[in-house]
């Protein structure tokens, strides 16, 4: 089955048609710059343009960078505040004329990595962490996703953990990789203490630089970079729509 997967991010809205049986891309990935301000209306228009680019009709899976409950955005930590309480599924389905299923971006990436990437077929507890502007999380056990974990917002050093060790925090504070790696390690140790995952999969912008900080990591679980790179969210979102 082939499904259009979309990944909505702060700087780009990306999509590709995915064969959800084997996780391969049926089309090239296409990216459109996220409109600024990224209001619901403006983003809906961009998503609609992306769907038109692929000349696609059928179910669509879409990753979104906020807590999503029953298709509704409940938070807006790193996106336009006007998204809170917007029925994202409804908005995007109306804008595109297709049936759009919306899932948290990290949950989508976790699903993608588990089915076709670094966690392929893993039957234990897998924690995916996406390190970018914020920190996104997904927990998957025996192939089943526990959605909406939002572990970038556990309180850490008196604030949301993502304020302390996201990639944006590294850039903002101009931290060298080893120093940032030590911070991230503290966060990973905290996650390990709480959830004892067998495997951590690190995605998002920082995952490409894992060689620069992996020596700072001292958790017991294995830590691997996402292998689907920036396609994990698109592939996982398409799978999510296919599962429905």
Residues that bind ligand BGC (CB under 6 A): 65-67, 75, 77-78, 104-106, 130, 134, 136, 150, 152, 162
Distance CA 200, CA 181 (A): 15
Cα–Cα dist 153/79, whole Å: 15
Nearer to ligand BGC among residue 203 and residue 242 (C-beta): 203
Distances (CA, A) of 184 to 92, 177, 229: 35, 10, 20
Residue 119 C-beta: closest distance to ligand BGC, Å: 17
Closer to ligand BGC at the Cβ: 18 or 66? 66
Of 65 and 236, CB closest to ligand BGC: 65
Contacts of 124 (CB under 8 A, 6+ apart): 141, 142, 197, 198, 199
Instruction: Please state the closest distance from residue 204 (CB atom) to ligand BGC, in A.
Output: 7
The pairing of strands 2-8 and 100-104 is unpaired
Residue 66 CB, nearest distance to ligand BGC (Å)? 5
Handedness of CA 157, 162, 166, 169 (dihedral sign): negative
For the residues of 94-107, what is the DSSP string, one character each?
HHHTS-EEEEEHHH
Q: Are strands 60-64 and 2-8 parallel, antiparallel or unpaired?
A: parallel
The minimum distance between CB 107 and ligand BGC, in angstroms, equals 8
Dist CA 212 CA 201 (whole Å): 16
Whether the upstream peptide bond of residue 37 has omega within 30° of 0, thus cis, is yes
Which residue's CB is nearer to ligand BGC, number 17 or number 86? 86
Q: Which is nearer to ligand BGC, 56 or 156 (CB)?
A: 156
User: How many residues does this entry show for the chain?
Assistant: 244
Q: What's the closest the beta carbon of residue 116 comes to ligand BGC, in angstroms? A: 20
In this complex, which beta carbon is closest to ligand BGC, that of residue 154 or of residue 175?
Answer: 154
In the complex, the smallest distance separating the C-beta of residue 165 from ligand BGC, rounded to whole angstroms, is 13
Q: Between residues 15 and 65, which has the closer beta carbon with respect to ligand BGC? A: 65
Q: How far apart are CA 237 and CA 222, in angstroms?
A: 25
Least distance from ligand BGC to the Cβ atom of residue 207, Å: 13
């Amino acid at each position: 089955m082939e499904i259009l997967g979309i990944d909505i991010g702060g700087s780009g809205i990306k999509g590709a048609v995915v064969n959800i049986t084997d996780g391969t891309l049926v089309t090239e990935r296409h990216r459109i710059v996220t409109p600024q301000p990224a209001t619901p209306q403006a983003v809906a228009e961009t998503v609609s343009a992306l769907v038109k680019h692929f000349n696609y009709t059928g179910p669509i899976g879409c990753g979104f960078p906020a807590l999503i409950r029953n298709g509704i955005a409940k938070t807006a930590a790193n996106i336009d505040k006007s998204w809170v309480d917007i029925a994202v599924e409804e908005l995007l389905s109306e804008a595109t004329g297709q049936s759009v299923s919306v899932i948290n971006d990290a949950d989508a990436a976790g699903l993608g990595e588990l089915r076709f990437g670094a966690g392929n077929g893993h039957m234990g507890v897998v924690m995916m962490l996406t390190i970018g502007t914020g920190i996104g999380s997904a927990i998957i056990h025996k192939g089943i996703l526990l959605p909406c974990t939002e572990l970038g917002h556990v309180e850490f050093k008196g604030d949301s953990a993502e304020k302390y060790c996201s990639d944006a925090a590294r850039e903002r504070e101009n931290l060298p990789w080893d120093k940032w790696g030590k911070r991230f390690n503290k966060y990973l140790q905290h996650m390990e203490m709480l959830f004892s995952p067998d495997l951590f999969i690190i995605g998002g912008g920082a995952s490409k630089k894992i060689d620069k900080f992996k020596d700072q990591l001292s958790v017991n679980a294995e830590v691997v970079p996402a292998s689907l790179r920036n396609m994990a969210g698109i592939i996982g979102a398409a799978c999510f729509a296919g599962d429905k």
